[in-house]
């Protein structure tokens, strides 16, 4: 690896190693042979050589055992270590750099080297005399003697012999003055190859591997070093022990702690640039409150689904789901995000739930002020009375996790239909979707104000989770209403610390103010929303229409609109067969919906026996009823003359006398989904009623339900009732 340049090696070039200078004797395809001062020749891969510019000593490259330890030493420490090494090498070999190929003029001098037959002890005595003489001519050394820093400028033979022993044991590292590395707080002096192997061994403990003790980890590290041929690593005992202990403590004592540590790691250091309100994020979380199920008269848990505009932190959609949400549920959450909602607080402090504003034909570009009648209240007015707007938008992108409800075919088809990009977080990386995760913490402020708060975990839960201040548990619908009120009256009106504007770092913005500020730059698109928009978010069933109607799951549906479809020719709706597409809501299987190709209107097709039951009929209840009928009489028990009455009897029994704990939970979830379905379809019916009312009066424009027309700063859109409703997908 070169520092911005390349160095060409050839035979005779010098390479610095921890055993002193070495000379290249052979160049191979993947390695080189190095001859050192000990007379040995070893093969070194190119990957263990670090390129350096030509130094004063003529070094062309360095061995990896010196990097980065050697270059982090002070200059004086390096110079002193090299001086000691030159003394040792000259006394041993007769050459200052240890090799005849690197001989200086006049080398070898008597009596240094093996050629003169002088013992090593005698050589060091002579070397001590030479060095002592040279030091008398060194002004820096003599100045230190005169100043009292050194008692004597001479060096004894025993000192040189100690240098020789240190060099023979640890090479160049043994000659470094320990005082120069004293007090270091990092582990850089340790061999980089050892640290790399150690990090890899510690990384294996991510919660999936059983924990072992520190001695076993050290054994594994040293075994790997042996197998990889690393036998020249300098590992001081104290520093090595500190390094291993430090990283072992960081792992965590339990596998759960190790898994949490692994999940906290991130691979990026920059945020996603979400600058448009259409960049959204979605997630589900379990509500930390118990709610009351009036059907079974018992507490139950629910989930909360949220869609947030990341750049503005505005909550555009919120739904309460039973355990656990499915693909249709999350698709309807996206449906809510596309619609504008409002919430009214009257003079008596009565607060309604979020309601669809109908078909929006006006656009308020003055921000999101609170309206009382026709006069918008000034933003400085902190009164809660009036209409609170919850803006709707079509997401450009949607961030979510890898949950099956987000990656399923139904939800992906919806995103493709509306041109929304699905941005999935990485597996086991909740930090990839931090804005919604942080919102769940904000919900805690709401949870703790409600009855039935049970905490986020078992260790936070009291011995009794019941009522607060003698207030009974609220139902799932009431919990959803209160949470929407909290968002509209509290969260949307509170300054958010995560919202900033360029050039105004100290400004405090609420989510709605941020939405207005960004919308002024990006512009708002007025989309005439089809009153039948919800049916684009329901799954489609391809069924054949017969003279008795259309049959699906042993239930027969019929309506007047099917008269022209009883003899459909093959290929009219789908190639190769005469099937007809029907919209199907698994939350209410008492009816299907058909979009007429001529008028583009949605028509309801009801089950013939729907008037005979008064229980929530969802797909789970229907399937269980059919299964019980088959268990009693097999396939022959299902026929057109008896199936309706048998299904009605079975449904009545299933909904009134639940037989098991599992079925009780399913019935509670079924009722919650069924009630939400009635609300959704009633909104559609109300939108159609308003359309017919205005059409009968000849009105060309439709005002919002909760806002009068012709308000100041309002732009109206004209709707032609004679033309088919446009497809919402065209408006993006």
459 pLDDT band, cuts 50/70/90, is low
Whether residue 192 has pLDDT greater than 70:
yes
pLDDT tens figures, 481-526: 999 999 988 898 888 888 877 777 777 888 888 888 887 777 655 4
Chain segment 576-619, per-residue pLDDT in tens: 888 999 999 999 999 999 998 888 888 999 998 888 777 778 88
Helix 237-251 / helix 255-263 crossing angle, nearest 10 deg: 90
Non-local (6+) Cβ contacts of 491 within 8 A are 315, 442, 511
Least confident piece of the model among 416-425, 527-536, 617-626: 527-536
Q: At what angle do helices 157-170 and 120-136 cross, to 10 degrees?
A: 110
pLDDT of 341 above 50: yes
Question: Residue 179's pLDDT band (boundaries 50, 70, 90)?
Answer: low
Query: Is pLDDT above 50 for 573?
Result: yes
Per-residue pLDDT for 287 more than 50?
Answer: yes
Confidence label for 634 from pLDDT (cuts 50, 70 and 90): low
Whether pLDDT at 373 is above 50: no
Q: 689 vs 389, 685, 693, 695, 709, CA distance in Å?
A: 23, 6, 6, 10, 19
Give percent above pLDDT 90 in the chain.
14
Given a cut of 80, whether residue 82 has pLDDT beyond it is yes
Torsion sign across C-alpha atoms 242, 243, 245, 249 = positive
Q: Which of 126-140, 480-494, 599-613, 717-731 has the lowest mean pLDDT?
A: 717-731
Average pLDDT over residues 92-108: 84
Taken in order of first residue, the domains within the chain and their CATH numbers are 14-173 (no CATH), 192-263 (no CATH), 279-342+391-522 (3.30.420.10), 537-696 (no CATH)
**Mean pLDDT, range 243-248, rounded to an integer:** 90
Residue 418 is given by DSSP the state T
Predicted local distance difference test score (pLDDT) of residue 398: 92
Which of 150-154, 210-214, 610-614 is predicted least confidently? 150-154
Which residues does residue 363 pair with via DSSP β-bridges, in sequence order?
A: 715
Task: Output the six-digit token pair for 658.
Answer: 């639940």
Mean pLDDT of 38-58: 71
Report d(CA 288, CA 454) in Å as an integer.
6
Annotate 317-380 with three-state secondary structure.
EEEEEECCCCHHHHHHHHHHHCCCEEEEECCCCCECCCEECCCCCEEECCCCCCEECCEECCCC
pLDDT at residue 348, rounded to an integer: 66
By mean pLDDT, which of 138-147, 320-329, 450-459 is the weakest? Answer: 138-147
Mean pLDDT of 417-446: 85
Mean pLDDT comparison of 231-235, 386-390, 472-476, 718-722, highest-scoring range:
472-476
Tokens representing 430? 């909740």
Which tops the pLDDT comparison, 559 or 136?
559
**How many angstroms separate the CA atoms of 340 and 352, rounded?**
15
Q: What is the pLDDT of residues 343-367, one digit of tens each?
A: 888 766 677 777 776 654 333 334 4
Rounded CA-CA distance 607/188 in Å is: 76
> CB within 8 A of 732, min separation 6: which ones?
394, 418, 419, 525
Residue 180 reports pLDDT greater than 50: yes
Please give the pLDDT value at position 658.
Answer: 56
Return d(Cα 675, Cα 679) in angstroms, integer: 6
Lowest mean pLDDT among 462-466, 488-492, 710-714: 710-714
Over the chain, what is the mean pLDDT?
78
What are 636-669's pLDDT values in tens digits? 655 655 666 666 776 666 666 556 777 777 888 8
- Edge to edge, the sheet with strand 41-45 lists 41-45, 31-35, 20-27, 14-17, 59-63, 49-51
How confident is the model over 179-201, as a mean pLDDT?
Answer: 77
Confidence band for 718, pLDDT divided at 50, 70 and 90: very low
For residue 183, pLDDT over 60 is answered with: no
More confident residue, 328 or 152: 328
**Range with the lowest mean pLDDT among 153-162, 257-266, 398-407?**
257-266
Nearest to 12 by CA among 38, 30, 33, 28: 33
Q: Which residue has the tokens 């995760």?
A: 437
């Amino acid at each position: 690896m070169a520092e911005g340049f390349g160095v060409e090696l050839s035979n005779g070039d010098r390479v610095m190693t921890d055993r002193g200078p070495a000379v290249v004797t052979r160049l191979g395809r993947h390695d080189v042979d190095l001859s050192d001062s000990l007379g040995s020749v070893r093969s070194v891969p190119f990957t263990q050589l670090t390129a350096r510019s030509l130094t004063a000593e003529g070094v062309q490259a360095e061995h990896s055992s010196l990097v980065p330890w050697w270059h982090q030493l002070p200059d004086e420490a390096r110079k002193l270590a090299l001086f000691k090494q030159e003394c040792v090498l000259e006394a041993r070999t007769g050459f200052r750099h240890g090799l005849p190929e690197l001989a200086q003029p006049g080398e070898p001098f008597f009596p240094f080297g093996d050629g003169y037959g002088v013992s090593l002890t005698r050589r060091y005595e002579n070397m001590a005399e030479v060095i002592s003489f040279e030091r008398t001519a060194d002004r820096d050394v003599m100045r230190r003697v005169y100043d009292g820093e050194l008692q004597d400028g001479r060096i004894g033979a025993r000192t040189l012999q100690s240098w020789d022993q240190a060099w023979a044991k640890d090479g160049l590292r043994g000659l470094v003055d320990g005082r120069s590395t004293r007090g270091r707080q990092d582990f850089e002096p340790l061999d980089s190859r050892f640290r790399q192997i150690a990090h890899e061994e510690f990384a294996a403990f991510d919660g999936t591997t059983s924990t072992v003790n520190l001695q076993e980890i050290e054994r594994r590290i040293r075994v790997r070093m042996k197998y990889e041929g690393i036998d020249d690593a300098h590992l001081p005992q104290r520093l090595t022990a500190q390094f291993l202990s430090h990283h072992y403590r960081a792992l965590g004592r339990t596998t759960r702690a190790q898994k949490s540590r692994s999940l906290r790691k991130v691979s990026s250091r920059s945020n996603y640039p979400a600058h448009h309100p259409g960049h959204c994020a979605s997630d589900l979380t379990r509500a930390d409150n118990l709610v009351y199920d009036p059907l079974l008269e018992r507490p139950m848990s629910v989930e909360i689904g949220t869609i947030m505009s990341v750049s503005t932190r505005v909550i555009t959609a919120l739904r309460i789901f039973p355990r656990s949400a499915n693909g249709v549920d999350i698709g309807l959450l996206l449906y809510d995000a596309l619609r504008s909602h409002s919430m009214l607080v009257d003079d008596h402090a009565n607060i309604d739930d979020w309601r669809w504003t109908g078909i929006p034909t006006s656009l308020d570009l003055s921000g999101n002020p609170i309206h009382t009648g026709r006069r918008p209240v000034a933003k400085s007015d902190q009164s809660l009375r009036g209409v609170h707007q919850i803006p709707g938008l079509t997401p450009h992108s949607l961030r979510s996790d890898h949950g099956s409800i987000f990656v399923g075919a139904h939800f992906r088809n919806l995103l493709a239909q509306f041109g929304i990009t699905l941005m999935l977080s990485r597996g086991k990386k909740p930090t990839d979707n931090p804005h919604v995760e942080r919102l769940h913490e904000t919900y805690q402020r709401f949870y703790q104000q409600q009855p039935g708060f049970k905490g986020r975990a078992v260790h936070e839960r009291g011995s009794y989770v019941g009522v607060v201040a003698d207030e009974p548990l609220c139902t799932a619908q009431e919990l959803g209403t209160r949470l929407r009120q909290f968002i509209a009256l509290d969260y949307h009106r509170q300054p958010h610390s995560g919202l900033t504007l360029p050039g105004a770092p100290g400004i405090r913005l609420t989510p709605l103010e941020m939405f207005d500020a960004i919308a002024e730059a990006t512009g708002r698109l007025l989309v005439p929303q089809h009153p039948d928009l919800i049916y684009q978010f329901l799954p489609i069933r391809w069924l054949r229409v017969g003279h008795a109607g259309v049959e699906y799951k042993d239930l027969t549906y019929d309506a007047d609109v099917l008269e022209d479809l009883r003899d459909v020719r093959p290929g009219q709706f789908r190639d190769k067969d005469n099937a007809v597409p029907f919209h199907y809501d698994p939350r209410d299987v008492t009816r299907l919906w058909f979009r007429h190709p001529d008028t583009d209107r949605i028509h309801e097709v009801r089950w013939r026996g729907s008037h005979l039951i008064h229980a929530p009929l969802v797909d789970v209840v229907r399937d269980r009823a059919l299964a019980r009928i088959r268990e009693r009489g097999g396939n022959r028990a299902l026929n057109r003359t008896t199936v309706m009455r048998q299904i009605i009897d079975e449904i009545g029994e299933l909904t009134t006398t639940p037989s098991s704990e599992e079925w009780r939970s399913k019935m509670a979830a079924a009722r919650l989904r069924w009630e939400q379905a009635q609300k959704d379809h009633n909104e559609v019916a109300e939108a159609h009623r308003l359309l017919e009312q205005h059409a009968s009066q000849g009105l060309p424009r439709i005002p919002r339900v909760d806002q009068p027309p012709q308000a100041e700063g309002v732009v109206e859109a004209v709707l032609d009732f004679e033309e088919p409703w446009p497809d919402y997908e065209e408006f993006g």
